[in-house]
Amino acid sequence: MACEKLYKRNGITNPRRDLDYAEVYEPFHFCEKGKGWQLIEKGITEIEGKFPVNASGGVLATNPIGASPMNRIVEAALQIRGDAGEHQVTRDVKTAIASALGGANWTMMTLLKRSL
């Protein structure tokens, strides 16, 4: 629900077209149900792919309880700023989404945009 509300509020109708990067607990709403493996197999979610996801390594690389949601937001901000170092995606990131799940089924969704 959080994702659907965020997309609706911000006019996002096709996330893979309307967003440049995603730093998420679980890549959802990026393809049809049951088709996520195809994004991975085709390299679409890789650091140099058409729709990079979790260039930081996501929660598989680091998941400090309590601070993990902030890690997702910080990574998305670093990608937009071009300051992600070794894990900077190869495309120009102007919009990114960050999400976190936890505790008693709460979800946090943050949309970040670069404007000059």
Cβ of 114: how many Cβ atoms within 10 Å?
15
Q: Which residue has the higher pLDDT, 93 or 61?
A: 93
* pLDDT value of residue 115: 85
Q: Report the predicted TM-score, pTM, of the whole model to 2 decimal places.
A: 0.85
Q: Report the chain's mean pLDDT, rounded to a whole number.
A: 88
CA-to-CA distance for 65 and 46, rounded, in angstroms?
26
Cβ of 88: how many Cβ atoms within 10 Å?
16
Say yes or no to pLDDT of 21 above 70. Answer: yes
Q: Which residue has the higher pLDDT, 105 or 99?
A: 99
- As beta bridge partners, residue 20 has none
**CB distance 55 to 87 below 8 Å:** yes
Q: How many domains does the chain have?
A: 1
Residue 58 sits in which domain range? 2-113
Confidence category of residue 70, pLDDT binned at 50, 70, 90: confident
* pLDDT value of residue 104: 66
Confidence category of residue 85, pLDDT binned at 50, 70, 90: very high
